Each structure stands twice: as structure tokens, then as C-alpha cells.
Amino acid sequence: MTEAKLILDNKEYTFPTFKGSEGEVAFDISKLRAQSGAITYDHGYGNTGSCKSAITFIDGDKGILRYRGYPIEELAGKKPFGQVAYLLIHGELPNDEQARKWRNSFTENSLPHESLLKFFDRFPVTAHPMNILASMISAMSSYYPYDSEDEDHINLNILRLLGQVKSLAAFSYKKSVGQPFVYPLSGFSYAANFLRMMFAEPMEEYQVPVVAEKALDVLLTLHADHEQNCSTSTVRMVGSSQANLYASISAGVNALWGPLHGGANQAVLEMLEKIAADGHDYKKYVEMAKDKDSSFRLMGFGHRVYKSYDPRAALLRKMCDEVLEEMGVQDPLLDIAKALEDVALTDDYFLERNLYPNVDFYSGIMYRAMGIPTDMFTVLFAMGRMPGWIAHWLEMRADPDGRIHRPRQIFTGHPERHLEG
Ligand code: ACO
């Protein structure tokens, strides 16, 4: 297939088609409006390819997720998150020397500017850590202005962002519990450094639990990229105006915060807690989710792209049992989650709509077992997604066909009218 034809008002228009490397077909309609005067309407962009990308491949029908060609199952837990970040950003896995340098530069750049930390005092104690994180990342562009034409400057700022996001995230938690900040230390993995900064206290030695370090590493990798989702598209949209890296990523953090996106991991846990408090009557919640007169949805179920089991959820479901057992944690919420899943996977409503558990369904239970408070869950998602956002921002910037993103609309408002008299 080399072209697609459109007949509009008896006039025929021809558009080129092309294929992606996995065989998916796209019609190039970039000349549609110029040639025919018409535009497309694709509510929620479910059928629109907004860019060409070589970073992540998803086949939602088959439950496939690959970063730079590698299946997620071959990366999660087998390559450290730092190396997965390198893969997403640079296109290849690092060799030993590159991995060593990359890891060291993360740590060297993980100390936030001391003046930036004063912002923490200005947030109310009730501030959500996602809001704090987005604000801090946005403020970083005032502390680290850079020449956007200079690749070395860009690379340094990428390292600062990757290194400091975990420090800022942990500091926002420390602030909320009234404890002093714990600064990053060299010699620790990304996950272990974060856990230290979260949980070490001045009065006693803190040993990072190996099981928690490993689990967090996998969780970060599973969240590291997911092609053109809401937050990544936001990063590309903002970046397309040539806004700087920090401004673009900060916008992505805000997009991720919403409960229909990354905020779902917090919403899942809150839903499970509510069901537990409501006598464990999970069937009532399944019925509510099916009721068209109720706005309630089963959080952690459904996905725009996956119409089969989310491969990340499949990995997490398995890992969840192992991690909780190794940590000696018995969580009644896990039983509710499994019961909900069992009902949903056999119920016609969910089967007909291809609603399966997504990545957020089990991640919260694991974070909870590690002692991470609920309102930090989405922050951990943001930490994991950082390399993906950066990779997309870089790819967008390097695109020779790149132009500012500017969708059209179908105006449905009042036709022209005039003031009387
Ligand atoms: N519970 C009950 N019904 C649902 C759910 C759910 N979680 N998700 C979708 N549906 C139903 C819708 O009501 C709709 O039914 P209808 O055809 O009878 O009207 C149908 O399934 C299709 O739903 P859409 O909203 O059109 O699907 P969309 O692709 O737009 O939304 C989304 C995907 C936002 C993830 C949705 O499934 C949802 O709200 N899930 C719960 C929130 C969640 O878990 N978000 C995390 C997503 S993963 C991530 O961002 C990392």
C-alpha cells in the first residue's frame, strides 16, 4: 500500500502512506487541509500518530512493550534502572565504562542547589508532593539556565534532572514529616540512594533493605517510558515551542498527576482502603463501576492502548507476592486487589470492553509494603518516567520535520453576531 484515497464532495484526494518498523500503517494527512479544506476529528487522539518515534514500541493487543527494541521482561530486574535510562536516552545499552561514568555523573549531579531548597519552607504542610516536584523542576531552570544550542549544556542539565529528581522527591517527604534532609551519597544505586534519602534518620544507622532496593529498581524500569501517553505528549507539546528542558518536564509532571494517568496509583490504594473500611465488599464496587448512572470507575483498570493484560501489571502481580513475602508483610489490601481482579476478569462488562489491570493496580501495594506514603506514589512514577520524558524531548528537538504543535478545532460555538443598537 503506497497511498490512501479520500473522496469528499465527489472530489478525490490522494495521500501517501508509510509503515513503521513493526508494520503499522499510517496515512500522512499533513496536506489534507491545504488540499481539501477539511480537517480530521479524533477525540482524545486515539487514532492520531503525533510523531515518528524510535524509542518505545507497544502492541496493545498482544501486550507487548519494548524499549529501543528490548522486551520489558528482559530489562526489568536484569538491567539496573540507571542503564535502562541510558538506553532510552542514548539508544543503546552502555558498556561497562559508559555505565560507570553515567552512574557517577548521576550522583555528582544529584545535589540540588542549596538556595532551591528554601522553596520547601514556603509550601503548606498539606501540599501534594507532585505539586512540589513540578514546581521545583520548573524552578530549576532559574538556577541552571543553559545555552539551548550547546549539546554539552543540554547533557549536563539532563544529568542534573535525572540526579536531582530523586533528591527533590525524598526531600519533599522529609519536609512533610518534619525531618532533616538526607543528602545523596555516592556508591549507592539509584533506588538505594532514594530509599536512604527517604528513610534514614540522624539517630541511627540505616541499612537499605535489599528486597526493597530490587523491587524499586524494577518499578522504576517498568515506568521508564510508554510512548505517546498524556504526560509524554505534554512534554513534546510544550517542548515544541522550544521551551527549555525543565519547563517541558515540569509540564509533564503536572500531566502525570491526574487520576486518569499516573495519579491512578494513589487512587487505587485509596479505593482499596475504602473497600476494606466498607466491610471488604468489593463486589459492590464492581457493580458501581458498571453502573452507567455512577461516575465511579475501578481505578487501576483499563488502558487506552492495552486491550489485553498490561505486561507491566503482569510482571508486578507476580513480583508483588514475592516482595511482600520476603518483607514479611501481610496486606489485606492485596487480597481485595486479587479478588477484584478475579471478578473483573470474568465479568462480561470488563471482558467486552477489554478492561484489564494496568501498571497502577499493583504498584501501590508494593510501595506501601516499602513504607512509602500514598501521596508519594505518583512522585515515584514521575521519577521512573524521567528518562522517557527526556528521551522524547531530545527526539522531538532533533526531528528535522519538527514544528510547533498546534492542533485545529471544530468550532461549535455561536455564529457571528453583533451587539444591538
Ligand atoms: N472502570 C469501569 N469502566 C471503565 C473503566 C474502569 N476503570 N475504564 C474504562 N471503562 C469503560 C468506560 O466507561 C467505557 O464504557 P462504555 O463504552 O460503555 O461507555 C469503556 O470502558 C471505554 O472507556 P474509555 O473511557 O473510552 O477508555 P479510554 O481509553 O478513554 O480511557 C482510561 C482509558 C483513562 C485508562 C480508563 O480506562 C480509566 O479511567 N481507568 C481508570 C483510571 C486508571 O487506572 N488510569 C491509569 C491508566 S495507566 C497510566 O496512565 C499509567
Tell me the pTM: 0.94
Question: Going by CA atoms, what residue is nearest to atom 24 of ligand 1?
Answer: 304
End-to-end C-alpha distance for the chain, whole angstroms: 60
> pLDDT tens across 38-61, in order?
999 999 999 999 999 999 999 999
> pLDDT tens across 121-134, in order?
999 988 999 999 99
Domain boundary among 58, 76, 102: 58
The domain tally of the chain equals 3
Mutate which of 228, 348, 358 for ligand 1? The one with the most ligand atoms within 8 Å of its CB, which is 358
Mutate which of 304, 352, 363 for ligand 1? The one with the most ligand atoms within 8 Å of its CB, which is 304
Are 106 and 232 members of one domain? yes
- Establish whether residue 364 lines the binding site of ligand 1, counting it when its CB lies within 6 angstroms of any ligand atom: no
- Active-site pick, 226, 360, 375, 392: 360
CB 55 within 8 A of CB 395: yes
Residue 405 lies in a domain: no
Q: What is the pLDDT of residue 147?
A: 85
Domain boundary among 34, 58, 82: 58
> pLDDT tens across 231-289, in order?
999 999 999 999 999 999 999 999 999 999 999 999 999 999 999 999 999 999 999 99
Is the predicted pLDDT of residue 117 greater than 70, yes or no?
A: yes
Q: At what angle do helices 81-90 and 190-199 cross, to 10 degrees?
A: 120
213 alpha carbon, distance to own chain's centre: 20
Question: Which pLDDT band, with edges at 50, 70 and 90, does 294 fall under?
Answer: very high
Rounded Cα distance, 285 and 393, in Å: 40
CB 38 within 8 A of CB 32: yes
CB-based contacts of 198-203 (< 8 A; 24+ apart in sequence): 198/170, 198/173, 198/174, 198/372, 199/371
- Establish whether residue 252 lines the binding site of ligand 1, counting it when its CB lies within 6 angstroms of any ligand atom: no
Q: Quick check: is 348 catalytic?
A: no
Are 69 and 27 members of one domain? no
Mutate which of 58, 226, 260 for ligand 1? The one with the most ligand atoms within 8 Å of its CB, which is 260
Residue 345 lies in a domain: yes
Are 103 and 79 members of one domain? yes
- Expressed as residue numbers, the domain containing 327 is 264-369
CB atoms within 10 A of CB 194: 26
Residue 415 lies in a domain: no
Q: How far is the CA of 289 from the centre of ligand 1 (A)?
A: 10
Residue 304 lies in a domain: yes
Are 119 and 144 members of one domain? yes
Q: b/e per residue, 11-42, with b = 16+ CB within 10 A?
A: eeeebeeeeeeeeeebbebeebeeebeeeeee
Is the predicted pLDDT of residue 317 greater than 70, yes or no?
A: yes
- Establish whether residue 360 lines the binding site of ligand 1, counting it when its CB lies within 6 angstroms of any ligand atom: yes
Residue 412 lies in a domain: no
DSSP state of 209: P
Question: Going by CA atoms, what residue is nearest to atom 32 of ligand 1?
Answer: 303
Q: What is the pLDDT of residue 183?
A: 95
Are 46 and 101 members of one domain? no
The CATH number that applies at residue 332 is: 1.10.230.10
Rounded Cα distance, 217 and 77, in Å: 7
Question: Going by CA atoms, what residue is nearest to atom 47 of ligand 1?
Answer: 261
Q: What is the pLDDT of residue 214?
A: 96
- Establish whether residue 228 lines the binding site of ligand 1, counting it when its CB lies within 6 angstroms of any ligand atom: no
Residues whose CB is less than 8 angstroms from the CB of residue 322 and which lie 6 or more positions away in sequence, other chains included: none
Q: How far is the CA of 304 from the centre of ligand 1 (A)?
A: 7
Q: What is the pLDDT of residue 148?
A: 83
Element (H, E) at 380: helix 377-398
Residue 417 lies in a domain: no
Q: What is the pLDDT of residue 387?
A: 98
CB 221 within 8 A of CB 205: no
Candidates 387, 412, 413; CA nearest to 68 is 387
3-state secondary structure 344-373: HCCCHHHHHCCCCECHHHHHHHHHHHCCCC
- Establish whether residue 353 lines the binding site of ligand 1, counting it when its CB lies within 6 angstroms of any ligand atom: yes
Is the predicted pLDDT of residue 309 greater than 80, yes or no?
A: yes
Please give the C-alpha separations between residue 55 and each of 156, 251, 366, 383, 387, in angstroms, as whole numbers: 21, 20, 27, 18, 11
Q: How far is the CA of 302 from the centre of ligand 1 (A)?
A: 5
Q: Over the chain, what is the mean pLDDT?
A: 94
Are 239 and 331 members of one domain? no
The CATH number that applies at residue 32 is: 2.20.28
Q: What is the pLDDT of residue 60?
A: 93
Which residue type, as a one-letter code, is found at position 75? L
Are 238 and 209 members of one domain? yes
- Establish whether residue 307 lines the binding site of ligand 1, counting it when its CB lies within 6 angstroms of any ligand atom: no
- The minimum-distance atom of ligand 1 relative to the CA of 226 is 51
CB 204 within 8 A of CB 222: no
- The minimum-distance atom of ligand 1 relative to the CA of 304 is 29
Are 122 and 46 members of one domain? no
Q: Which three cell numbers stand for residue 72?
A: 520489558
CB 190 within 8 A of CB 99: no
Question: Which pLDDT band, with edges at 50, 70 and 90, does 1 fall under?
Answer: low
CB 333 within 8 A of CB 276: yes
Domain boundary among 14, 32, 58: 58
CB 307 within 8 A of CB 354: yes
Q: Which three cell numbers stand for residue 376?
A: 508519594
Residue 295 lies in a domain: yes
Are 116 and 192 members of one domain? yes
In the chain, % of residues over pLDDT 90: 90
Query: Is residue 267 classed exposed, middle or buried when 0-12, 13-18 and 19+ CB atoms within 10 A define those classes?
Result: buried
Candidates 356, 363, 263; CA nearest to 315 is 363
Mean pLDDT of 15-32: 94
The CATH number that applies at residue 149 is: 1.10.580.10
**In the chain, how many H helices and how many E strands?**
17, 6
Residue 39 lies in a domain: yes
Query: Which residues face 357 on adjacent strands?
Result: 301
Q: Quick check: is 303 catalytic?
A: yes
Are 47 and 72 members of one domain? no
Are 141 and 233 members of one domain? yes
Rounded Cα distance, 284 and 263, in Å: 23
Q: What is the pLDDT of residue 286?
A: 94
Q: What is the pLDDT of residue 125?
A: 86
Q: How far is the CA of 294 from the centre of ligand 1 (A)?
A: 14
Are 209 and 176 members of one domain? yes
Q: Which three cell numbers stand for residue 221?
A: 524500569
